A and B are shown apart, each in its own frame.
Chain A
Amino acid sequence: MIEAKEINVNTETGGEISYETTLFAEPVFHTNNFTFTNALVTSWLAVLIIIILAVILRKKLKEVPNVLQNVFEIVVEGALDLCDQVTNNRSLSVIVFPIAISVFFFILINNWLGLLPIGGLGLLEKGEHGLAFIPFLRGGTADVNTTIALAIMAVIGANLFGIFSIGIWKIFNKYVNLKALGQIFTKIKKDKTIIIVAPITFFVGLLELVGEFAKIASLSFRLFGNVFAGEVLLASMAAIFAYILPIPFVFLEILVGVIQALIFSMLLVVYFTISATDHDAHDEHEKHEENVVVSV
């Protein structure tokens, strides 16, 4: 068992309870052949909260907004402006925005649910070292499975988006650059250096393929690490001096929750935008401009 933090407390029964934050999500209850971990429970709760909020907002949608609608209008408008800054294109950001903001709210609510003191409610279970305390609420993003799933969704989604917007052949050539190899035969008469340049371009394409996996790793571990480290930080601060000392760190963690959700969804928008831009068209455009300059 991997222990991040262990505090042993003597209870009245004389047994020891270990309050530890484990690297993996702990199982809360079992059905026949399916284990419900606390991270899973929390992420379902987050989904439920989002659904309820969405339904309430939809029912009370008015020309003159009430308080809740006002708050969300400010948030969505600000987020759409931020999205515009990344994509530089309203029509593109209108397509990407719904995915990004859903991911944002899912991560944000998960991060904040993990901070709730209700996480203190939980089960006592027989672990390897006597009784172990298992909280019901553990931020869904503090489980590496959730963050890897989100990251894979972001990267595969970006590539699918690229396929739908600029075509499967161009996306395929981004990774396995057959077009560059083909240019050896078509352009060799004009430009002798292509015989050196084309294999390099092909190799860069393969590196791009590795880069996609690096994207998954960095996205998932950034989110997981930040949220998980926050939980451990709070636990160890509470161990040093309970109730008072953790309070400033709780504020820090609330801020970190927002920032990490923002970063994840902004990177998602960036990946979608990169994959939807046609780099060849850009080159041709530049060439066209050069031609214009020459002709002038």
Chain B
Amino acid sequence: MELDLSTLAKAIAIGVGAIGPGIGIGLIGAKAMEAIGRNPEATNKILVPMLLACAFAEAIAIYALVIAFSIK
């Protein structure tokens, strides 16, 4: 049986690459919830920086996705 290594490589690239950002976005969300719980009036102030931080964390997963796409 011949293993198709490129498919495996794609899967590993995105699979491993998604771990870090996943943890990161989880932490961002958890901290934002905590902040809103402490100070519910600050919800509007927290939301935009939270989304920005999420996008920064997400970008790392997307680097991995681009790499996964570009593996032939």
Contacts and interface: CB of A to CB of B under 8 A. Distances in A.
A232 B52 contact: no
B69 to A, nearest CB: 5
B59 A222 contact: yes
A130 to B, nearest CB: 19
B53 to A, nearest CB: 10
Contact of B69 (A23, A221, A222, A262): A23
A266 B52 contact: yes
B27 interface: no
A2 interface: yes
Residue among B56, B58, B69, B72 with most chain A CB within 10 A: B69
Contact of B63 (A221, A262, A263, A266): A221
B5 to A, nearest CB: 17
A226 interface: yes
Interface string B48-63: 0001100110110011
Interface string A260-276: 10110010000000000
A228 interface: yes
B23 interface: no
Nearest to A226: B62
Contacts of B69: 2, 4, 23, 228, 232
Interface string B37-56: 00000000000000110011
B12 interface: no
5 contacts: A23-B69, A225-B59, A226-B58, A229-B66, A263-B55
Interface of A: 2, 4, 23, 218, 221-222, 224-226, 228-229, 232, 256, 259-260, 262-263, 266
Interface of B: 51-52, 55-56, 58-59, 62-63, 65-66, 69-70, 72
